[in-house]
Amino acid sequence: MSREKCFIEQTATMNILLKVTNVCSECYGDFINGSTIFYDLKACRYICELCHERLLPLMSSECVVDNDDLGLF
């Protein structure tokens, strides 16, 4: 079974940082110009490389997070 494309890997450019976001939507860490960021195609958000690495093993083949323990409460 092939995994659906979940993320688009990009380089954080000034255009992205000024027009869309300058923080990770998962951990709220700052993006730095030139860093690697990932656009989450299912949740329509940018996340950092560390959050991408953390979320990827938890996702099903349909890019849905399978672990219910990720909430704040």
Q: Does 40 fall in a domain?
A: yes
Q: How far apart are CA 31 and CA 36, in angstroms?
A: 9
Write down the pTM of the prediction.
Answer: 0.80
Q: Does 1 fall in a domain?
A: no
CA dihedral in degrees (20, 25, 30, 31; nearest 10)? Answer: -50
pLDDT in tens, 24-34: 999 999 999 99
* Tally of domains within the chain: 1
Q: 49 pLDDT band (50/70/90 cuts)?
A: very high
Q: Does 41 fall in a domain?
A: yes
Full residue range of the structural domain in which residue 37 is found: 7-70
Percent of the chain with pLDDT over 90: 53
pLDDT over threshold 80, residue 2: no
pLDDT at 9: 94
Q: Does 19 fall in a domain?
A: yes
Strand order in the sheet with 36-40: 7-11, 36-40, 45-48
Q: Does 2 fall in a domain?
A: no
pLDDT at 73: 44
Q: How far apart are CA 55 and CA 11, in angstroms?
A: 19
Q: Does 54 fall in a domain?
A: yes
Q: 21 pLDDT band (50/70/90 cuts)?
A: confident
